Amino acid sequence: MSGLYSLFLILVLLAVGVVLIYNKLVEKRALVENGWSDIEVQLKRRADLIPRLVEVVKGYAAHESGVFQDVIAARNAALSAGGNVARRGAAEYSMGTQTPRLLALKEAYPELKSNENFLELQEELTDTEDKIEMARRFYNGAVREMNIKVKSIPSNLVAAPFGFKAQPFFEIEPGDRAAPDVSFD
């Protein structure tokens, strides 16, 4: 009887362990999903600012159509990348290299520097970039924790059968921290 009781106790403890690990994995996945949602909100906000900024700049620099087309094309590519983390990172990098070209036009058109709409949009864009960076850090931290859980013992023994997988980090190309070279050739 003692052996049966011991076996039952071991099975109960094992079941409790599996449930605890499963719940922790669910928590980590929820943090990853929440982090990605925050990133998408900020990326959408930035994408919505771009056409407004283009319209303001167009009033001063109508003959810079190549810059406008490049910026809008990069914006559209970023929006169409959807929820694929790797494709979205590459598309956002592209947009990140085009937007400074648009902002650099203020140097060629000094009257833009004093345009209230331009200054307000530029400030909103800067604020949004900061929020994107914070959201990206949160998401990547949540992904790191999730990936550790998914890959480490004993949680990996629970993760695999229940379909928990390592998640990709949201990386914008390494050049995202430095202003790209701007050329109007």
- pLDDT, tens digit, 9 for 90 and up, residues 114-156: 888 888 988 999 999 999 999 999 999 999 999 999 999 999 9
Predicted confidence (pLDDT) per residue in 10-33, tens digit: 999 999 999 999 999 999 999 999
> For the structural domain made of 2-177, what CATH number should be given?
1.20.1440.20
Identify the CA nearest to 123 among candidates 43, 49, 42, 38.
49
Identify the DSSP state of 175: G
Count how many Cα atoms sit within 13 Å of the Cα of residue 132 in the half-sphere of its side chain. Answer: 23
Helical packing angle, 65-80 and 2-58, nearest 10°: 160
- Unique residue bearing structure tokens 């990853």: 32
Gap between the Cα atoms of 111 and 122, Å rounded: 14
Backbone angles phi, psi at 23, to 5 degrees: -65, -35
Gap between the Cα atoms of 26 and 18, Å rounded: 12
Terminal-to-terminal C-alpha distance of the chain:
87
Confidence of residue 57 (pLDDT cuts 50, 70, 90): confident
Q: Residue 185 pLDDT more than 80?
A: no
* Sequence-ordered list of residues with C-beta below 8 angstroms from that of 87, at least 6 positions apart, any chain: 81
Provide the whole-model pTM.
0.78
